[in-house]
């Protein structure tokens, strides 16, 4: 089948023709794309765009090696993981992750409030799976072929956008010209800072520490366990071989660096920490270098200019409270790739406009949801705590899974 299309970029050169054959694009392109950031969105996008003949892709990643990007566990919903089928890495993802079978909410003393069965969602829509972030990045990297020019330990210095191209200067002094620059450089995006207005940010002034342990029995079964205490939070996230532990609380109480960190965090957790003594014993020692994760997001009102676009956390960071930022980043990367595969280098802006239209409303819903969960998490009064657990006890299971299920039912 052949399809002839006209793309009105309004710049005189704006006629682009494409042909759709048996599941493959027959028309190549001369498009040269720079992806800044080799994280979840950047690698997904590179893996999908490389399929198009003639597409020249450069990916710069600030870290020296992908394995260094480590950190925490990621729960990936099917809307994110299904993108991996198209990247040819889904089986590898399954091998390196663990199915989330249930979600348990516990109280300040570690007592079970409610368990939500997650297997039913999995049976209907596909499994939610837990994976270490470093493993996920490695799986996605496996989907990026040699045709992509990956430059590690590199970033951009300046971005100079003109009508028909973008001039970029890298931190090693090299200057190059691209048809499109993609900011996939996460929450603190440099591309956003250079090319867009300051985003709007939600900051409950909470944050946390993350560490790893051997799996316990619950972990082996595949249950996420979260303890929602009074101004404190302790969560357990089982991946394929290890268990990720996360402690969250107000920055002013638990953001402690250096001497006394472990003792002070333990003391702050009080009875909740005592309920999981062995776990707290494994908390990083004071001299260990660990990242403190601030519960802070960023929402950029605009995601694209004529030839620069934001994808993933760079334009729409989702708080970890929704456990959906990575899924959203992958889904957005897939939509951006889908639109870019339909235009040539002249009509880039049209693809960016359609990408933003297709994604913005859906992503904003998840951002808002992550903010409202954070609002619930930081409440400390007796009344608020009682209401929180009452809601949890009476909440129909289908409401708990609504965000995920709705996301899976909506077209992207
Ligand atoms: C503690 C914690 C737990 C979370 N848990 C979950 C979860 O369970 N489920 C979920 O879906 N999401 C979770 N998230 C959110 C999720 O990690 C992010 O939404 C997701 O990683 C966004 O992907 P991204 O590719 O946009 O950004 P990132 O994954 O942050 O990737 C950005 C990449 O850009 C690189 N970079 C940064 N600046 C530059 C630069 N200037 N030049 C070049 N490269 C640069 C970085 O090194 C990185 O590789 C969690 C986040 C945190 C902090």
What pLDDT digit, counting tens, does each position of 85-137 carry? Answer: 999 999 999 999 999 999 999 988 888 999 989 988 888 889 999 999 999 99
More confident residue, 398 or 212: 212
Cα(71) to ligand 1 centroid in Å equals: 10
pLDDT the model gives residue 22: 41
Mean pLDDT of the chain: 89
Q: Is the pLDDT of residue 16 over 80?
A: no
Token look-up 């499109």 returns 180
393 pLDDT tier (thresholds 50, 70, 90): confident
How large is the average pLDDT for residues 241-264?
94
Residue 412 Cβ contacting ligand 1 at under 6 Å: no
How large is the average pLDDT for residues 264-289?
89
Residue of 40, 129, 314 to mutate, ligand 1, most atoms within 8 A of C-beta: 40
pLDDT in tens, 53-77: 999 999 999 999 887 655 899 999 9
pLDDT the model gives residue 1: 35
Residue 46 in contact with residue 33, Cβ under 8 Å? Answer: no
The ligand 1 atom nearest the CA atom of 237: 8
Residue of 188, 326, 332, 374 to mutate, ligand 1, most atoms within 8 A of C-beta: 326
pLDDT the model gives residue 403: 67
Q: Is the pLDDT of residue 15 over 60?
A: no
pLDDT the model gives residue 394: 85
pTM: 0.92
5 pLDDT tier (thresholds 50, 70, 90): very low
Q: In the chain, pLDDT over 90 holds for what percent of residues?
A: 70
Cα(139) to ligand 1 centroid in Å equals: 15
pLDDT in tens, 17-26: 344 444 444 4
Residue 222 Cβ contacting ligand 1 at under 6 Å: no
pLDDT the model gives residue 24: 40
pLDDT in tens, 127-154: 999 999 999 999 999 999 999 999 999 9
263 pLDDT tier (thresholds 50, 70, 90): very high
Residue 199 Cβ contacting ligand 1 at under 6 Å: no
pLDDT the model gives residue 87: 97
pLDDT in tens, 303-359: 999 999 999 999 999 999 999 999 999 999 999 999 999 999 999 999 999 999 999
pLDDT the model gives residue 20: 42
Q: In the chain, pLDDT over 70 holds for what percent of residues?
A: 92
Residue of 76, 325, 331, 359 to mutate, ligand 1, most atoms within 8 A of C-beta: 325
3-7, 57-61, 268-272, 372-376: least confident range: 3-7
Residue 313 Cβ contacting ligand 1 at under 6 Å: yes
How large is the average pLDDT for residues 363-372?
93
More confident residue, 378 or 399: 378
Residue 310 in contact with residue 215, Cβ under 8 Å? Answer: no
149-152 and 175-178 beta bridge pairing: unpaired
Residue of 186, 314, 363 to mutate, ligand 1, most atoms within 8 A of C-beta: 186
Cα(186) to ligand 1 centroid in Å equals: 5
166-175, 251-260, 320-329, 393-402: least confident range: 393-402
């Amino acid at each position: 089948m052949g399809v002839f299309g006209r793309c009105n970029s309004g710049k005189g050169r704006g006629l682009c023709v494409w042909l759709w054959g048996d599941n493959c694009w027959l028309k190549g392109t001369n498009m040269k794309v720079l992806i800044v950031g080799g994280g979840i969105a950047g690698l997904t996008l590179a893996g999908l765009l490389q399929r198009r003949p003639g597409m020249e892709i450069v990916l710069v990643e600030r870290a020296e090696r992908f394995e260094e990007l480590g950190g925490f566990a990621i729960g990936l919903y099917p809307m994110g993981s299904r993108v991996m089928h198209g990247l040819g890495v889904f089986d590898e993802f399954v091998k390196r992750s663990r199915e989330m079978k249930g979600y348990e909410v516990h109280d300040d003393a570690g007592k079970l409030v409610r368990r939500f069965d997650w297997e039913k969602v999995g049976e209907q829509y596909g499994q939610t799976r837990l994976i270490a972030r470093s493993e996920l990045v490695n799986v996605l990297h496996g989907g990026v072929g040699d045709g992509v020019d990956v430059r590690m330990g590199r970033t951009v210095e300046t971005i100079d956008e003109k009508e028909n191209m973008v001039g970029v200067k890298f931190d090693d002094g090299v200057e190059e010209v691209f048809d499109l620059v993609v900011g996939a450089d996460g929450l603190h995006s440099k591309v956003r800072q250079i090319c867009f207005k300051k985003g709007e940010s939600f900051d409950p002034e909470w944050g946390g520490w993350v560490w790893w342990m051997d799996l316990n029995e619950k972990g082996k079964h595949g249950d996420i366990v979260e303890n929602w205490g009074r101004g404190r939070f302790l969560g357990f996230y089982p991946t394929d071989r290890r268990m990720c532990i996360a402690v969250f609380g107000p920055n002013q109480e638990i953001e402690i660096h250096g001497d006394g960190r472990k003792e002070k965090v333990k003391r702050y957790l009080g009875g909740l920490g005592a309920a999981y003594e062995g776990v707290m014993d494994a908390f990083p020692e004071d001299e260990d270098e660990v990242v403190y994760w601030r519960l802070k997001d960023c929402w950029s009102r605009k995601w694209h200019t004529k030839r620069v676009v934001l994808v993933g956390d760079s334009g729409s960071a989702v708080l970890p409270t929704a456990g959906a930022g990575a899924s959203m980043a992958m889904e957005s990367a897939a939509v951006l790739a889908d639109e870019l595969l339909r235009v040539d280098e002249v009509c880039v802006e049209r693809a960016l406009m359609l990408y933003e239209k297709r994604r913005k409303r859906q992503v904003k819903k998840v951002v808002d949801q992550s903010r409202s969960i954070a609002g619930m998490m930081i409440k400390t009064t007796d009344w608020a705590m009682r209401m929180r657990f009452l809601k949890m006890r009476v909440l129909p299971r289908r409401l708990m899974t609504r965000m995920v299920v709705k996301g899976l039912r909506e077209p992207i």
